[in-house]
Amino acid sequence: MEISTREALPVGQSETKPKSSCRVDNRRAIKDTLARRGLFAASILLIVLLFFIGGLLFVRALPILRDYPLVQLLTSVKWRPTHGEFGLAPFVLGSFAVTLVAMALAVVPAVFSGIYLAEYTSAKRRSLLKPILDLLAGIPSVVYGLWGVLFVVPLIREVIAPWLGGTLGQSIPLFAVTNPSGYSLLAGGIVLAIMVFPLMVAVTDEVLRNIPQQMRESTLALGATRWETTWCVVRYAGLPGVIAAVVLAFSRAFGETLAIIMVIGNTVQIPRSLFDAAYPLPALIANAYSEMMSVPLYQSALMLAALVLMVIVLVFNIVARLIIVRLSNKG
């Protein structure tokens, strides 16, 4: 017969926790509440900051919006502030054009590099490649701009433009050599592609490495090859993360300023060829801000350009986020 060593409590008295244990539990509860409220306050602060920046830009852009319809400002191709013409279309289209060129050059190599880094490389080789990737991501944009001026622009002027212009340029306007200087949409796209490449590789790598290993083992157990397993993992579990990597790279490329100013030519026109010069929105804001006090409505026009830039990036991120959520729910 088992004999209990605990002393019997008097009738009507229950066993209670020590006071020290209760104090510890209360402290933990207080810390948890403070942490939760602090994180909530930080989230609210970010939202307030976003609306504050957007509201400030909108208030500063009101003078030009009172004198010119927004549709006219966004569709006009004439930018002559001294004559009262503030068309933003060349700058908006220039930003989209150089960003699309950069993404067309960078997305496929970056995604496949991220897949290789996550799925195929050994631990030793990964330890060598990751620091190089981090180093590329940390290089200042002015260094990329100088590299573009010293290498990319001469390469386009002396090699790429004569070759493409003499072959595809004869029949396809996109490759027609309209600007032999080398400072062009293609130069800006190449520099931007190199800049966003490490970001896309790093995000893709992290997304794929966070997928449970059991998914790969299950696919291999069914007789799939290594590449078929990788394709299934990327398609069904990693696609939202890959899209997120592309969205982050697009946002970085669309808002890039310094490196683009140095290689794109900064000519107010709608680019129709890869070799045309262009003038993106960030370059307009950076170049013209010091001149804004000399012309009426100039400051307001630049504030409107900054607001348009912010809204475009924000809308693109929201749409991409909705696509990611839909793909995640579908998977």
Query: Please, what is the Cα angle at 320 between 318 and 326, to 5 degrees?
Result: 105
Rounded to whole angstroms, the Cα distance separating 322 from 22 reads: 45
- What integer is the mean pLDDT of 16-33? 68
pLDDT per residue as tens digits for the range 39-87: 888 888 888 888 999 999 999 999 999 999 999 999 999 988 888 889 9
Q: Which CATH superfamily is domain 67-330 in?
A: MetI-like (1.10.3720.10)
287-324 pLDDT, tens digit each: 887 766 667 788 899 999 999 999 988 888 888 777 77
- Tell me the three state secondary structure of residue 223: coil
Which run of H or E residues covers position 174?
Answer: none
Mean pLDDT, the chain, rounded, equals 84
How much is the pTM?
Answer: 0.83
Among 174, 130, 193, smallest CA distance to 272 is for 174
Checking if the pLDDT of 124 tops 90, the result is: no
pLDDT score at 69: 92
The residue among 15 and 212 whose pLDDT is bigger is 212
Res. 223: pLDDT tops 50:
yes
The total of other beta-carbon atoms located within 10 Å of residue 278's CB is 31
Q: What is the residue extent of each domain of the chain? A: 67-330
Residue 156 binned pLDDT confidence (cut-offs 50, 70, 90) = very high
The answer to whether the CB of 99 falls within 8 A of the CB of 254 is yes
Distance CA 164, CA 156 (A): 10
